[in-house]
Amino acid sequence: MFAGIDKRKLYTPFNIASGIILIIGAVLTVLRFTGGLSMVTNLDDNNPWGLWIGFDLLCGVALAAGGYVTSSAVYIFGMKKYHSAVRPAILTGFLGYSFVVFALMYDLGRPYRLPYPFVVQAGPTSFLFEVGLCVALYLTVLFIEFSPAAWEFMGWKKIRKIAHSLTIPLTIFGVVLSTLHQSSLGGLYLIAPSKLHPLWYSAYLPLFFFVSSIVAGLSMVMFEGSLAHKYYHDKMDRTHLNEASEVVLGFGKAAALVLSGYFVMKVIGIAVDNNWHYLATGWGAWFLVELIGFVALPALAFAIGVREKNRKLIQRTAAWAVLGIVVNRLNVSLIAFNWQLPAADRYFPSWMEIMTSLFIVTLGVTVYRLIVTFLPILHEHPEYKDSH
Amino acid sequence: MDAIYYTLQDFLTFTKGFTYVLMGVGLVGFIGFWRFLTARDDD
């Protein structure tokens, strides 16, 4: 099953660095679960949510949006020319959400209490309850959507047929669930108007989070596709190689349109609350860096790339847009949060928090590499060609 | 824009009025952006 692995290829600099990070992460995991939050984090009563929520959860969920974006484009809007992008996108989504839940356990501390909101004490009026329920359901949806690749690998034809027959209802369910929880993650911050800087706080936060998640999903599919093309070229079949170019151009165009709309919405967000005067402050300068540098300029760069059919430019802009989404989520959850507190009370993550986040990302990348190496993700399984 | 508003009515009159203007500008700008984006689609 795993024949053909060249042992010399295992000891690459990337693999060795990953191994070191994973070992450090394992030690930090033991420290966190034996010593509590204070052992490894700088969290306190003013800042109960830190990097693990701001980066691992908020960025993780947004960047895993490629699954619903791609599957809805292909199965709901009938854009079959992007079909080869579905499996990698679903895999990224599935792994993204899996590691979001994994990371959440570090923050919660008692993993066995994860099902509590559903079976012990529900809080149906809370955004957190809605996010938890949607993520739990959507992770299940993603698992079933991803599973045909695993069943094909294992040769389980019947169960593969059942899972494959559920594609359309699961896609619709996935879009509904994603719309709900992507926006609700922004909705979480509606409760903190006095803590979040007015330039980032808006009644439209749920809308901002949802629309930007579409950009994150599209950009992540292009970014991940460019990496897969570079490092897993030998795993890609002719269909994937031929369609890759179409995927970049089509998704680049969509990203340009959605980003331009998002830019207008953000400006309207300032106008509705009459927050113009904040733009002349230091916080305003940082807000403009985000708005111009990570929204307007990437939208323009996407558009130029699409016009010129410059795939390199589009792929680089996709990485830029992904960075922009990370900047936005960190701004809302950490940087512009508690902005009025004196510097001594502000939160900055400890090296162990940063290392734990890096550990979780590395673990995700390692599992991704393992799956695309063995499962039919970047190519069609010979026995199921044209059966999609 | 830093004017002091004494009533919610005043505040909303200004902000909503300005927002409507921006939305109009945004829609027109969006059409321009769309044309820029798709100008070479037939090539």
Query: Cβ of B3 under 8 Å from any chain A Cβ?
Result: no
**Choosing among B37, B38, B42, B43, which should be mutated to test the A contact, i.e. which has the most A CBs within 10 A?**
B37
How far B25 CA lies from chain A's nearest CA (Å)?
9
pLDDT of residue B40: 83
Place of tokens 């701004």: A331
pLDDT of residue A5: 59
Q: Is residue A3 part of a domain?
A: no
pLDDT of residue A308: 92
Q: Are A306 and A249 in contact (CB under 8 A)?
A: yes
Q: Is residue A388 part of a domain?
A: no
Name the amino acid, one letter, at A227.
Answer: L
Q: Is residue A385 part of a domain?
A: no
Q: Where are the beta strands (DSSP E) in A104-227?
A: none
- Under 8 Å CB pairs connecting chains A and B tally to 50
Contact A268/B26, CB-based, under 8 Å? yes
Nearest by CB to residue A271, choosing from B19, B37, B40, is: B19
Phi then psi for B3, rounded to 5 degrees? -60, 150
Q: Is residue A343 part of a domain?
A: yes
For residue A269, the chain B residue with the least C-alpha distance is: B19
Nearest by CB to residue A303, choosing from B22, B23, B37, is: B37
Q: Is residue A11 part of a domain?
A: no
Q: Is residue A8 part of a domain?
A: no
Contact B37/A257, CB-based, under 8 Å? yes
pLDDT of residue A304: 96
ipTM of the complex: 0.91
Q: Is residue A88 part of a domain?
A: yes
Six-digit token pair at A137? 């359901």
DSSP-derived secondary structure letter, A344: G
Tens digit of each residue's pLDDT (9 = 90 or more) over A82-140:
988 899 999 999 999 999 999 999 999 888 888 888 888 878 888 889 899 999 999 99
Six-digit token pair at A254? 């969509």
At a CB cut-off of 8 Å and minimum separation 6, what does A35 contact? none
Tens digit of each residue's pLDDT (9 = 90 or more) over A291-349:
999 999 999 999 999 999 999 999 999 999 999 999 999 999 999 999 999 999 999 99
Confidence band of A371 (pLDDT split at 50, 70, 90): very high
Q: CA A156, CA A84: separation in Å to the nearest integer? A: 22
pLDDT of residue A269: 95
CA distances from A131 to A1, A55, A66, A139, A180 (A): 39, 16, 18, 12, 8
User: Which CATH number do you get for residue A44?
Assistant: 1.20.1630.10
Q: Is residue A264 part of a domain?
A: yes
pLDDT of residue A388: 56
Nearest by CB to residue B11, choosing from A261, A274, A303, is: A274
Contact B37/A264, CB-based, under 8 Å? no
Q: CA A39, CA A24: separation in Å to the nearest integer? A: 15
Query: Cβ of B20 under 8 Å from any chain A Cβ?
Result: no
Our count of domains for chain A comes to 1
Q: CA A187, CA A255: separation in Å to the nearest integer? A: 23
At a CB cut-off of 8 Å and minimum separation 6, what does A296 contact? A259, A263
pLDDT of residue A21: 95
Q: CA A237, CA A128: separation in Å to the nearest integer? A: 42
Q: CA A112, CA A228: separation in Å to the nearest integer? A: 36
Tens digit of each residue's pLDDT (9 = 90 or more) over A33-81:
999 999 999 999 999 999 999 999 999 999 999 999 999 999 999 998 8
- Count of C-beta atoms within a 10 Å radius of residue A298: 27
Query: Cβ of A261 under 8 Å from any chain B Cβ?
Result: yes
> Which residues on A lie below 8 Å from B26 (Cβ)?
264, 267-268
Instruction: Report pTM.
Output: 0.92
pLDDT of residue A261: 96
Which carries the bigger pLDDT value, residue A313 or residue A14? Answer: A313
> Which residues on A lie below 8 Å from B36 (Cβ)?
303, 307
Contact B37/A267, CB-based, under 8 Å? no
At a CB cut-off of 8 Å and minimum separation 6, what does A71 contact? A86, A89, A90, A145, A167, A171, A174
* pLDDT average, residue stretch B15-37: 95
pLDDT of residue A3: 53
Domain containing A357 equals 16-379
